[in-house]
Structure 1
Amino acid sequence: MSLVKFRKRRPWGNLISSDFFDNDDFFDNRLWNKNLNEPALNVKETKDAFEVELAAPGFSKKDFEVTIDDGYLNISAENSSSNEEKEDSYTRKEFSYNSFEKKLQLPDSVKEENIKAKYEDGVLRFNLTKKEEAKTHKPQKIEIA
């Protein structure tokens, strides 16, 4: 089973069966330029786990909220800052606000209770350990008649 970003609509279903291709994300971002502020996401599968990296510079560890709900890994972050400088003849105010939310469907092969997260140098990293039966699973060959 693959790890995919959650989308409510899938007009063509899962036409491409890959662990790392999300056809909705492909069409949304490249044809209509939606969700350009979402952080980049890398997923790497090893024999024992999925390793997920989410690029989120400018945030601190306390800005993130990560939950698991009904087979989905929910990642959200929000931060803001403001600065005000007053002088005799002017007032300068600066502020910024950043937020995002990502929702990833977890494969059945992941041990939800063993998910670990670490935020360092602007990258949020997850280690999604696989269940034992998924580690030894071998593909089945189908003969073509």
Structure 2
Amino acid sequence: MSTLVKTHFATPSYLNGFFGKDLLQEFNTPAFSGSVPAVNVVENKEGFKIELAAPGLQKTDFKLNLVKDQLTISAHKEQKEEENNERYTRREFKYSSFQRTFTLPNTVDGEKIVANYSDGVLSIVLPKREEAKEKPAREIEVA
């Protein structure tokens, strides 16, 4: 398991306008900060849902692996940017990656796990096995 650590950067104001970009915004963007994205886990009658906040990524940046009862969610993003001006050439390479591993309960049906990435949130649906779902109460007749 991993923990989320929030970092605040205190930089002099003269650094904020470096090449017309706000350095604080660049460092604090979750997709590029190297921090672990926030995760919500919700359980209902049908199963579990994991929501992982990862704005700035594409669905092709994610990799999900299930080995036994271990679900590993990882992402890797590489961004290259080049700006040519009369006086200078600026190149920036940004790399970002993270990995989170969850131990799933044996009630999850690993064959039916589905994932969707939309609006900066990766949603993973982990349905329960039929035998693990809560059954409605029934009356048993005495013979």
TM-score (norm 1): 0.68
Give the match for residue 84 of structure 1: 82
Q: Which portions of structure 1, spanning 4 or more consecutive aligned residues, are displaced by more than 6 angstroms?
A: none
Q: What is the count of residue pairs matched by the alignment?
A: 109
- Among 119, 122, 125, the residue aligned to 1:121: 119
Richer in helix (by share)? 2
Structure 1 counterpart of 2:93: 95
Shift of 1:29: 4.5
The equivalent of 1:46 in structure 2 is 44
- Which runs of no fewer than 5 residues in structure 2 stay unpaired? 7-33, 137-143
3-state SS, counterpart of residue 131 of structure 2:
helix
For 1:137 and 1:110, how far apart are their aligned partners in 2?
A: 16
Q: Which residue of 1 aligns with 2:102?
A: 104
Distance (Å, rounded) in 1 between the aligned partners of 2:38 and 2:61: 17
Task: Report the CA distance between 1:38 and its aligned residue.
Answer: 0.2
| Unmatched segments (≥5 aa) in structure 1 | 1-5, 8-24, 31-35, 139-145
* Cα deviations by residue, 1:76-96 (Å, 9 ceiling, x for unpaired): 100011111222321122232
| Partners of 2:50 and 2:125 within 8 A in 1 | yes
**Higher radius of gyration, 1 or 2:** 2
> AA paired with 2:58?
S
Instruction: Provide the rounded CA distance (Å) in 2 between the counterparts of 1:132 and 1:91.
Output: 60
Q: Which amino acid aligns with 1:61?
A: K
Cα distance in 1 between the residues matched to 2:85 and 2:134: 68
Letter in 2 for 1:99: S
d(CA) in 2 for partners of 1:88 and 1:52? 49
Return the alpha-carbon distance in structure 2 between the equivalents of residues 70 and 53 of structure 1: 21
